[in-house]
Amino acid sequence: MPLEDYEIVIGLEVHAELLTESKLFCGCSTKFGAEPNTHVCPVCLGLPGVLPVLNEKAVEYAVRAGLALNCEIASFSKFDRKNYFYPDLPKAYQISQYDLPLCRNGWVEIALPPADENSPARTKRIGIIRVHLEEEAGKSVHSSETIVGSEYSLEDYNRVGIPLIEIVSKPDIRSPQEARLYAESLRTILLYAGVSDCKMEEGSLRVDANISLRPRGATEFGTRTEIKNINSFRSIERALAYEAARQAQVLDEGGQVVQETRAWDELHGVTVAMRSKEEAQDYRYFPEPDLVPVVTSREWVEKIRASLPELPLARQERFQRQYGLPAYDAALLTETRDMADFFEEAARQWHDPKAVANWLMGDFTRLLKEHGLEVSQSRLRPGHLVGMLKLMEKGVISGKIAKTVFEEMFLSGQDAEQIVKDKGLVQIADTGELEGIIQRIIAANPQPAEDFRKGKEKALGFFVGQVMRETKGRANPALVNELLRKLLTAGQ
C-alpha cells in the first residue's frame, strides 16, 4: 500500500552540550577547537584513584533546559554508570542518569505550516519523556573507515566530560517534517534559555531518531529502527523520509522491519544497517558510588524558572498581537533571542513595526549572512535603524538612499545622520534645483517627451529614471513625479 496509508511514528533523542565554562566533573575548560588533549586533567582522563566532583552550574543549566521544555524537576535525582569499552571513553563508563533523571514529563509546541493559504496556522504538542544530565566522550580519529579496520586511531580527550543533556521525546511525531520542526524548536528554545549553543556542525547538538510504521488506525507500534549520524536539520527530514519509504517497501513486500541501528549516509542519501538488536550493548547501569544524589529545593527551581526569558512560541504570538506582524514575520524574527530583542528595541522607538521588521528580515539578515556575523556581533544597533527611519520619514533621504545608508551603518557603526551629512546624501527637495535638471533632460530627449504627451504613461518612468541617475538617487521621488508631469505638459 502507498506510504500515505501508513502512519509514521517518530521519537527523537537529542543531545545538547551545555555552555558551562568548565566540564561536568572537573575544572577543565569546555572551549571548542583547542589543540588536542590540552583541556584535560587526571579527573577527566579517568586516571586511577581520581574522583568526580559535580559542577553545580551544569545542574542549573540542565534544570533551566528542563523548565524551558515544561518539565517537572525531580527533587531527588542521581547519577549512574553506563559501562562500555571504547578508546574515547577513559573510565570505560559514562556517568549518566538512568532511572531518576533530573527532569521529566515535558512538552514542546511546534508550529505546523497551514494546510493552505486560507487556513490558520496550527500548533502541535510533542511530549518529552525526560531530560537527563551526562558527560561527553572524547573524539576518535581512525586511520581508516572503522576503528576495527584501522591501523591506528588517535584520541582527543578535550571533549571528555563536557556536560551534555539528553532530551528524549515521546513517539508523538508523525512525519519527517514534524521531526525537523521539533528539532528546530528545541534548538530555538535551548538558545533562548541560554544553555547550549546548539551547533550541529560542531557537534554541540546531535539528533538520533527512532522511526516505525503502522497501518493507519492501528494502535500497536510497528518495529522501529534507530537512525544515527544525522548531521543537519535538513538531513533529519531527508533521512526519515528515506527510512519511512524503505520500511514501507519492506512491509509491502511482505517482509518484516528488523529492529536495528542504521546510519544516515548523507552523500548517497540512504540509511545503512549499523548493528542489530542482538549486537546491542548491555550497559550494566548501576548507581554511581562516587557521587551523592542531587537534591533540588523548590525555591531554587523557582528562582531558575523566574530567570527564564519569554520563550519563542509565546514571543511569536505576542509579536503578532502587540505589533500586528504577520505570522511569517513573527516566526522569522523570534528564531533567535538576539534578533527578537533587536526588533523589540527598535519597534519600541518607532511607530511602524512592520517597517522595522522589513528592514531586519531583508537587508539586515542579508548583510549578517554576507559577513558571517551573528546579531550580537553587529555594529548596527536598533538606534541606528530608528535614526534612519526618521530621516526617511522627514524626507531627508529616499528609500533608495536608505539602502546605501543602512549598509554604511552596518559596516561602520556610524549613525544615519552622520553618514548622510558626510556623503552628501541629503535628498534634493529644492523645486528650483530639480526644475533645472528636469528641463535639461526633457530638452535632451524630445522623442520620449513627445510620447508622453501623446498619452504614453510609460515614458514618465524613463524620465524618473534619468532624473534619479542625474541626482544619484537623491531626488525626492514624489517631487520628481509632480515636476515632470508639470513641465512635460507645460511645454505643449
Contact call for residue 361 and another protein (CB under 8 A): no
Q: Pick from another protein, Zn ion, none: which does 93 bind, CB < 5 to 8 A by kind?
A: another protein
* Nearest to another protein of 90, 353 (CB atom): 90
Give, in degrees to the nearest 5, the angle at Cα 476 between 473 and 478: 125
**How many residues belong to the site for another protein (CB under 8 A)?**
33
Given another protein, Zn ion, none, residue 100, with its beta carbon under 5 to 8 Å by kind, binds none
Binding of residue 58 to Zn ion (CB under 5 A)? no
When asked if residue 173 is in the footprint of Zn ion (CB under 5 A), the reply is no
* 28 binds, options another protein, Zn ion, none, Cβ within 5 to 8 A by partner type: Zn ion
Q: How far is the CB of 76 from another protein (least distance, A)?
A: 16
155 binds, among another protein, Zn ion, none (CB under 5 to 8 A by kind): another protein
Asked if 437 and 470 count as a contact pair (C-beta separation under 8 A), the reply is yes
Report the nearest approach of Zn ion to the CB of residue 19 (Å).
17
Q: How many C-beta neighbours within 10 Å does residue 253 have?
A: 7
The verdict on 189 binding Zn ion (CB under 5 A) reads no
All three cell numbers of 313? 512560541
Residues 130-159 as x/- pattern, contact with another protein by CB under 8 A? -----------------xxxx--x-x----
C-alpha grid cell for residue 288?
Answer: 554511581
* Minimum CB distance to another protein, residue 135 (Å): 14
Q: Does 115 bind another protein (CB under 8 A)?
A: no
Q: Which of Zn ion, another protein, none has residue 76 at its interface (CB below 5 to 8 Å by kind)?
A: none
Q: Which residues pair with 7 in a beta bridge?
A: 214
Integer CA distances (angstroms), 375 to 202, 222, 335, in order: 20, 45, 12
Alpha carbon distance 11, 226 (integer Å): 9
92 binds another protein (CB under 8 A): yes
36 binds another protein per the rule CB under 8 A: no
Rounded to the nearest whole angstrom, what is the least distance from the CB of residue 257 to another protein in the complex? 23
Candidates 7, 57, 70, 87; binder of another protein (CB under 8 A) is 87
User: Does position 355 bind another protein by CB under 8 A?
Assistant: no
Radius of gyration of the chain (CA): 30
CB of 92 to another protein, least distance (A): 3
Residue 346 burial (C-beta neighbours within 10 Å; 0-12, 13-18, 19+)? buried
Question: 259 or 471, CB closer to another protein?
Answer: 259
How many residues belong to the chain? 492
Q: Cell triple for residue 388?
A: 534612519
Of positions 91, 104, 224, 315, contacts another protein by CB under 8 A: 91
Q: Does 50 bind Zn ion (CB under 5 A)?
A: no
Asked if residue 54 binds another protein (CB under 8 A), the reply is: yes
Structural element, H or E, at residue 76: strand 76-77
- Considering only residues 18 through 47, tell me which ones interact with Zn ion, judged by CB under 5 A: 26, 28, 41, 43-44
| Residue 289 binds another protein (CB under 8 A) | yes
Nearest by Cα to 398 from 470, 468, 308: 468
Residues sharing a CB contact under 8 Å with residue 73, sequence separation 6 or more, in sequence order: 63, 66, 67, 102, 103, 296, 301
112 binds, among Zn ion, another protein, none (CB under 5 to 8 A by kind): none
**What is the nearest approach in angstroms of another protein to the Cβ of residue 167?**
24
Enter the DSSP assignment of 157.
-
Q: Please report whether residue 47 would count as binding another protein according to CB under 8 A.
A: yes
Which residues lie across from 211 on neighbouring strands? 10, 225
Q: Which does 66 bind (CB under 5 to 8 A by kind): Zn ion, another protein, none?
A: none
Nearer to Zn ion, 8 or 26 (CB): 26
How far apart CA 486 and CA 439 sit, in angstroms, is 11
Query: In terms of CB distance, is 208 or 288 closer to another protein?
Result: 288
Residue 269 touches which of Zn ion, another protein, none (CB < 5 to 8 A by kind)?
A: none
| All three cell numbers of 360 | 531586519
Cα–Cα distance for residue pair 286/130, rounded to 1 Å: 19
In DSSP notation, 75-104 reads SEE--EEEE---TT-TTSEEEE-SSS-SEE
| Residue 41: CB minimum distance to Zn ion, A | 3
**Would you count residue 78 as binding another protein (CB under 8 A)?**
no
Q: Which three cell numbers stand for residue 350?
A: 518607532
Q: How many residues bind Zn ion (CB under 5 A)?
A: 5
Q: Strand pairing partners for 207?
A: 14, 230
Q: Which stretch binds another protein (CB under 8 A): 77-85, 124-132, 360-368, 382-390?
A: 77-85
User: Of 161, 143, 139, 160, whose CA–CA distance to 152 is shortest?
Assistant: 143
List Cα–Cα distances, 58 to 25, 141, 157, 189, 296, in angstroms. Answer: 9, 28, 19, 17, 13
Pairing mode of beta strands 225-230, 260-265:
parallel
39-to-95, 159, 220 alpha-carbon distances in Å: 19, 8, 48
Nearer residue to another protein within complex by CB, 157 or 463: 157
| Residues within the interface to Zn ion (CB under 5 A) | 26, 28, 41, 43-44
| Residues within the interface to another protein (CB under 8 A) | 42, 45-54, 81, 83, 85, 87, 90-93, 147-150, 153, 155, 282, 284-286, 289-292
